[in-house]
């Protein structure tokens, strides 16, 4: 059986380093906001090329703290609208709603799966105050086009970079440094994954960074002194130590993912399968390799019968979820067609050459 993602195998590469880090963590007696968190914030801000990084408990909190900070600073107000791609994972939308803001669901580009700039222009109103650019599946959104629109209309731009660790544009500027502020998730399956929940906010905005740092720690920068109403969303000290180890391997892991993608893109030849766009640039780190097939149920049954793992990102679009009942009547045909036809096939930095061969051969025989 070829697993869709073998997390144990991915993390086993670092087992001895993890053991050392755990002993250091245990012996330190300092388990919250210790030296490892400070080190990771420094390391990751340097990696992304930004001035500030604030560790958070998870990626959803990272997004929500960004919006809460903008509200606290008066850059947004309750009820303001935020444009967001309609085909994103629901967390992007929940962060907007949970902050008292209103999401405006925008159709994606059918080729890249990322938010469409033409659809952004079509749906702009005076109520829209921000655009959330989701780098879906690890591919950078059209940040040049989005930034141009934002500058013309005085809009904030927030990157949801939860799936795009290490993606960079032609100017070698990394995800996390392509907007006003960005949110990352380090969920275990991510290209840079912890051993539990973890997240971060990155920005060059000193005032915003200070506010996020207050908010993520009970509104406090000094123990028992609380400046604003805050939350408890701190990066765990042990998870930070894990991320410090794995960050050093991130670029190499992303390179291995692209090597697999090059094989998939050149060797999968089946007219029933539509492959994702790949332009050989570093703007895509392939958190997921997402193909499209018309009869998805038949195809995934075929994969299962041939011991090839898969996942569907995502089977139900957000606007059709019960949690977002007020959006259920929206007509979003591109989003709905994508969600009905996408299948993610195995890709990871620890896949063997023979496993890639098998995936290719099985799909070509479908």
Rounded Cα gap, residues 63 and 61, in angstroms: 5
Quote the crossing angle between the two packed helices 35-48 and 237-247, to the nearest 10°: 40
* 28 belongs to a structural domain: yes
pLDDT the model gives residue 215: 98
For residues 134 and 122, membership in a common domain is answered with yes
pLDDT the model gives residue 272: 97
pLDDT the model gives residue 218: 97
The predicted model scores a pTM of 0.97
Domain tally, the chain:
2
For the chain, what percent of residues have pLDDT higher than 70? 100
* 1 belongs to a structural domain: no
- Report angle CA 96, 97, 102 to the nearest 5 degrees: 80
pLDDT the model gives residue 183: 98
* Mean confidence (pLDDT) of the chain: 97
* 2 belongs to a structural domain: no
For residues 235 and 276, membership in a common domain is answered with no
Give tens-digit pLDDT for 327-346.
999 999 999 999 999 999 99
Structural domain boundaries enclosing 164 = 7-247
For residues 330 and 221, membership in a common domain is answered with no
Give tens-digit pLDDT for 77-125.
999 999 999 999 999 999 999 999 999 999 999 999 999 999 999 999 9
- Where residue 262 sits, what CATH number does that domain have? 3.90.1150.10
Q: Which residue has the tokens 């993912």?
A: 257
pLDDT the model gives residue 121: 98
Smallest Cα–Cα separation from 249: which of 193, 309, 211, 298?
A: 193
Rounded Cα gap, residues 347 and 207, in angstroms: 39
pLDDT the model gives residue 255: 97
For residues 176 and 143, membership in a common domain is answered with yes
For residues 256 and 228, membership in a common domain is answered with no
- Where residue 68 sits, what CATH number does that domain have? 3.40.640.10
Band (pLDDT 50/70/90 cuts) for residue 280 is: confident
* 281 belongs to a structural domain: yes
pLDDT the model gives residue 248: 98
Rounded Cα gap, residues 85 and 130, in angstroms: 12
Classify 222 in phi/psi space as left (phi over 0), alpha (psi -120 to 50) or beta: beta
Domain-ending residue, one of 209, 232, 247: 247
For residues 231 and 325, membership in a common domain is answered with no
* 78 belongs to a structural domain: yes
pLDDT at 281 over 90: no
For the chain, what percent of residues have pLDDT higher than 90? 99
Give tens-digit pLDDT for 53-65.
999 999 999 999 9
63 C-beta neighbours (distance < 10 Å), count: 31
Domain-ending residue, one of 247, 262, 286: 247
Give tens-digit pLDDT for 284-330.
999 999 999 999 999 999 999 999 999 999 999 999 999 999 999 99
pLDDT at 162 over 90: yes
For residues 192 and 221, membership in a common domain is answered with yes
For residues 196 and 302, membership in a common domain is answered with no
């Amino acid at each position: 059986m070829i697993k869709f993602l073998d997390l144990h195998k991915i993390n086993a590469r670092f087992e001895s380093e993890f053991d050392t880090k755990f002993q250091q963590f245990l012996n330190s007696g300092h388990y919250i906001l210790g030296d490892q968190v400070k080190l990771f914030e420094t390391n990751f801000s340097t990696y992304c090329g930004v001035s500030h990084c604030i560790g958070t408990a998870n990626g959803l909190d990272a997004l929500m703290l960004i919006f809460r900070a903008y509200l606290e600073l008066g850059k947004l107000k309750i009820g303001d609208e935020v444009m967001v791609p309609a085909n994103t994972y629901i967390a992007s939308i929940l962060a907007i709603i949970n902050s008292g803001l209103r999401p405006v669901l925008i159709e994606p580009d059918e080729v890249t799966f990322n938010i469409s700039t033409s659809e952004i222009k079509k749906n702009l109103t005076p109520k829209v105050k921000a655009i959330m650019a989701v780098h879906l599946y690890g591919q950078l959104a059209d940040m040049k086009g989005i930034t141009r629109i934002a500058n013309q209309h005085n809009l904030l731009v927030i990157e949801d970079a939860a799936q795009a660790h290490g993606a960079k544009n032609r100017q070698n500027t990394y995800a996390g440094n392509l907007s006003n502020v960005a949110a990352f998730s380090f969920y275990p399956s991510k290209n840079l994954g912890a051993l539990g929940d973890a997240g971060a906010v990155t920005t060059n905005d000193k005032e915003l960074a200070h506010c996020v740092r207050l908010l993520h720690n009970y509104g406090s920068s000094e123990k028992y002194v609380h400046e604003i109403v805050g939350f408890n969303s701190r990066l765990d000290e042990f998870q930070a130590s894990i991320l410090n180890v794995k960050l050093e391997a991130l670029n190499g892991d992303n390179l291995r993912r692209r090597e697999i993608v090059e094989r998939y893109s050149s060797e999968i030849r089946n007219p029933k399968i539509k492959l994702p766009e790949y332009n050989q640039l570093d703007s895509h780190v392939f958190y997921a390799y997402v193909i499209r097939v018309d009869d998805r149920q038949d195809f995934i049954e075929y994969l299962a019968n041939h011991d090839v793992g898969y996942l569907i990102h995502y089977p139900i679009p957000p606007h059709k979820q019960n949690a977002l009942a007020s959006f259920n009547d929206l007509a979003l045909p591109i989003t709905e067609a994508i969600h009905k036809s996408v299948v993610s096939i195995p890709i990871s930095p620890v896949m063997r050459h023979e496993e890639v061969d098998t995936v290719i051969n099985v799909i070509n025989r479908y």
